[in-house]
Structure 1
Amino acid sequence: MKYIIHDQVTLAKAPEGPLAAHLASFANELSAQGYSGQLLKLQVRIAAHFSRWLKQRGVGARDICLEHATWYLRYRARHVRSYLDDRAALGHLIAFLDRERLISAQRMPARRLTPIESCTLAYIEYLHEARALSKATIVYYVPFIREFLEHCFDDGPIRLSRLRAGDVVSFVQCQALRLHLKRAKLMTTALRSFLRYARYRGDTTLDLAAAVPVVANWSMPSIPRAISADQTRQLLASINRQTAVGRRNYAILLLLARLGLRAGEIAFLELDDIDWGAGQLSVHGRSGQRNELPLPADVGKAIAAYLQHGRPKSASRRVFLRARAPITGFGRSGVGSLVRHSLQCAGIDAPTRGAHQFRHGLATQMLNHGASLSEIGELLGHRHPQTTKIYTMVDIKALRTLALPWPGGVR
């Protein structure tokens, strides 16, 4: 006799053990996250086997912890045919039990932090509490600080009092060689912030922030690299809008091309940010600012087509969702990956593989058609006029192709 757990999952035996009563709820949550078919069956069946294994060992629901999942995986590897997805499936189950408060939080063993992790967490708390920096800024800073601490202390204890100017200079020199100018600039900014934090804590009396070298050539060496209008048209024409993923990708690329939005602004766009009646889009810009932008008809039509015939069912308020489970919104890196993949499939040799080139392309086109710097800055959400002025720089190489010959010829 088969036992129905979910409309897509049946078990050969009646479920047993401390988790038997919760398998249906687990299956429903997985289904709501977009899992279906074989993946849904696999995860629920492993949960049922895990529950039976727990019963055999006399483990109650309130006593379950991560160690039991580890022990079960070892047992499964020895006695049952195991798969690569088993560990992920049990991870989803433990997370579900924790969210539903079916297992005791104190039973979840806390992993001991490394010295670098402890120091980094304290710095993050300082940035958040004392400096009130945005989450995005903190995310940008932290990887550089981890690398700096690894460079100076390796796996040993963190003693900031032993830092010297030579440590700072050698780290910057090493990192600057492999980083793009913008990343190098961000790295030095993060490093100065951390060294000021170390002095604020009293870990060092030296002003090591002043020892951070300035990476040469900060001035913009040329006009920003922008995708051309022809390449943009070619890319948009290459998208297959007969599929759900194609409708989503087309709408995202249109937002990049027509409004010059940043990748993060598109990724975090929510359904409530679209005012269909007024034809406006409310964009969450940098530093928490919101910009109200007009919604072009073709962009609105593309978004509507995706919402009606491509967007998966989800409780998420994000406009653009992943096509595969778990069905959630994606980050700015997801938009960048979409752009790279689309350019590659279309065979377009664009100036870069990133999403920001559309922003530069839009600004360049507006300038060529007579738009003022204030109009361009308003559309792109620039807070400072100086940011928009980079588009007025002259492309000398392009101008040389237009140069008239000297009337008297070469002498």
Structure 2
Amino acid sequence: MKYIVHDQVVLSRPPEGPLAAHIVSFANSISEQGYSAQSLKQQVRIAADFSRWLERTEIDLRSVYPEHAIRYLRYRVRHVRPCHGDRAALLRLIDFLGRNCLIADWKMLVRLPTPVESVTQAYETYLREVRALAGATIVHYVPFVKAFLEDCFGDGRVRLSRLCAGDVVRFVQRQAPRLHLKQAKLMTTALRSFLGYTCYRGDTTLDLAAAVPVVANWSMPSIPRAIPPEQIRQLLASIDRQTMVGLRDYAILLLLARLGLRAGEVASLELDDIDWNTGHLNVHGKSGQHNGLPLPTDVGRAMAAYLQHGRPHSSSRRVFLRAMAPITGFRGACAIDSIVRHSLQRAGIDAPTTGAHQFRHGLATEMLRHGASLGEIGELLGHRHPQTTTIYAKVDIEALRTLAVPWPGGMR
């Protein structure tokens, strides 16, 4: 007797075992993520087989965790011809069960965090919930803090009250020579943040943030690497807007070029951030900032074209979605940088860099050359501090030459 689980999946018999009641929900979840019919069939069938195996081995639903999936795969390889994707399919099933609270918190069962990891996780929560820092900032800070704590305490108990200025200085002196200048400066910033956090919590009596050495650096050492306008025009003209991916990429590149958004800001845009009536865009910037920007006509048209004709069906509220399953929003800035890199390669353009930030620099440079003030540029780019914008004062060399005072006595 055949059993229909989903419109596209037919099993030879009804599901059995502890997962039987959840197979249909799992199939619907996979379908909503945009997986192909073939992939959907494979994932549902392996879920049904895994459920029967759990029943035979007398494992109830609340006791399921990843080790059982590994044991089942070993069993499966001995009885069924293995298929590419079996392991990934089973992990998606485990993840589905966990997200829906159908099994115990298996992520905690795998391994208890070390003392250093516990302190680091608490600090990460503080940055996210109290300081409201951007996810990208947190990702950059946490590894340095974890490395510092491991250097001071190893695998043992973390006693923050025992930290002293010497611990901080020694760590920076050892690490800084191994890092690029920007990374070294980021490390010291992360340490000051963490040590300020320990003082705020009362874990340390002294503010050890003052003990973090300063990494020597000239202010504004280099001119921003901006993509020139002619390369932007060439790049946009090269996008095939007859395809769904082309519609998406064209809208993304226009947002970068016309509004100077950061890659992470583009990735995190949601449908509710677009006000079509007033023609404004709500941008989620750094540190929880919200920056309202006017939506240029060409950008609005490109986004509307993508939403109407290129965006896959999805329950996600993100504006821009992956083109391949799982159909979800991008995880972060790296995905936008990847789109820029591949678009430049396809167009055969030798741009200053391969990332998205060059469009931001390009917009600021063009605004400066057309007479915009640094204050206007900083407002559009969402700079919190005026000093951040002053780097563009080094860009327009020709404009600066007109301000030069003649050398006394003239030229000889």
Q: Smaller-chain TM-score range?
A: 0.7 to 0.9
State the 1:218 CA deviation.
Answer: 4.3
Answer whether contact 1:17 1:55 (CA < 8 A) is retained: yes
Structure 1 window deviating more from structure 2 (134-143 vs 237-246): it is 134-143
Match of 2:408 in 1: none
Q: Is the 8 A contact 1:364 1:391 kept in 2?
A: yes
Compare 258-267 and 65-74 and name the one that shifted more: 65-74
| 1:275 corresponding residue in structure 2 | 275
Matched, 1:386 2:387: yes
Helix, strand or coil: the match of 2:48?
Answer: helix
**Aligned match of 1:333:** 334
Residue in structure 2 matched with residue 260 of structure 1 by the alignment: 260
**SS, match of residue 345 in structure 2:** helix
Is 249-258 or 287-296 further displaced after alignment? 287-296
Pairing 1:132–2:111 present: no
Match of 1:406 in 2: none
Contact 1:281 1:293 in 2 (8 A): yes
What code does the residue aligned with 1:385 have? P
Per the TM alignment, residue 302 of structure 1 is displaced from its structure 2 partner at its CA by: 1.0
Per-residue CA deviations over 1:141-191 (Å, capped at 9, x if unaligned) read 212112223444454554546655454334334543454444332221111
Measure the CA separation in 2 of the matches of 1:334 and 1:80. Answer: 37
Q: What are the within-5 Å matches in structure 2 for residues 162-241 of structure 1?
A: 163=163, 165-199=165-199, 208-241=208-241
2: CA distance between counterparts of 1:105 and 1:396? Answer: 59
Most deviating of 113-122 and 354-363: 113-122
Query: 1:348 matched to which residue of 2?
Result: 349
> Structure 1: 5+ residue runs without aligned partners?
404-409
For each residue in 1:55-113, what CA deviation from the matched residue of structure 2 results, as whole angstroms up to 9, or x when unmatched? 21233334434332232123223433334533322222122223434335599735211
What is the alpha-carbon distance in structure 1 between the residues aligned to residue 302 and residue 347 of structure 2? 19
Please list every run of 5 or more consecutive structure 2 residues that lacks an aligned counterpart in the other structure: 405-410
Q: Which amino acid aligns with 1:286?
A: K
Residues 365-405 of structure 1, C-alpha deviation per residue, up to 9 Å, x if partnerless?
111112222322222122333322221125669999xx9xx
How many angstroms apart in 2 are the aligned matches of 1:179 and 1:344? 29
- Determine if contact 1:222/1:395 at 8 Å carries over to the other structure: no
1:73-92 correspondence to structure 2 within 5 Å: 73-83=73-83, 85-92=85-92
Query: What SS does the aligned partner of 2:308 have?
Result: helix
> CA separation in 2, counterparts of 1:108 and 1:289?
33
Asked whether the equivalents of residues 181 and 218 of structure 1 are also in contact (C-alpha less than 8 Å), the reply is no
Q: Which residue of 2 aligns with 1:367?
A: 368
Find the residue that maps to 1:291 and give its secondary structure.
strand
The change in CA–CA distance for 1:313 and 1:178 in structure 2 (over 3 A counts) is farther
What's the offset of the Cα at 1:265? 1.4
Q: Distance in 2 between matches of 1:133 and 1:293?
A: 21
What amino acid is aligned across from residue 356 of structure 1 in structure 2? H
Instruction: Return the alpha-carbon distance in structure 2 between the equivalents of residues 322 and 386 of structure 1.
Output: 36
In the alignment, the residues of structure 2 paired with residue 204 and residue 102 of structure 1 have an alpha-carbon distance, to the nearest angstrom, of 42
- Cα RMSD for the two superposed structures: 3.0
CA distance in 1, matches of 2:174, 2:231: 37
- Alpha-carbon distance, 1:322 to partner: 0.9
Q: Is the 8 A contact 1:66 1:109 kept in 2?
A: no
Q: 1:263-342 to 2 correspondence within 5 Å? A: 263-330=263-330, 331-342=332-343
Contact map agreement 1:223 1:395 (CA 8 A) in 2: no
Aligned residues: 403
Distance, in Å, in 1 between the alignment partners of 2:285 and 2:359 is 17
C-alpha distance in structure 2 between counterparts of 1:257 and 1:139, whole Å? 26
Equivalent residue runs for 1:84-123 within 5 Å: 85-104=85-104, 109=109, 111-123=111-123
Report the Cα offset of residue 27 of structure 1. Answer: 0.6
| Alignment TM-score, normalising by the size of structure 1 | 0.87
Deviates more, 1:80-89 or 1:38-47: 80-89
CA distance in 2, matches of 1:149, 1:397: 50
Q: Structure 1 201/384 Cα, relative in aligned 2: closer, same or farther at 3 Å?
A: closer
Tell me if structure 2 keeps the 8 A contact 1:63–1:107.
no
Distance 1:378 1:246, change over 3 A: same
Cα pair 2:269 2:284 within 8 Å, conserved? yes
Task: Using the TM superposition, name which of 93-102 and 312-321 deviates more.
Answer: 93-102
- The CA deviation string for residues 175-233 of structure 1, in whole angstroms up to 9 with x for no partner, is 43454444332221111222334455666566543332211114101221111111111
Question: Amino acid of the residue matched to residue 294 of structure 1?
Answer: P
Q: Does the aligned pair in 1 maintain the 2:17–2:54 contact within 8 Å? A: yes
| 154-163 vs 34-43, greater mean Cα deviation | 154-163
| Structure 2 match to 1:39 | 39
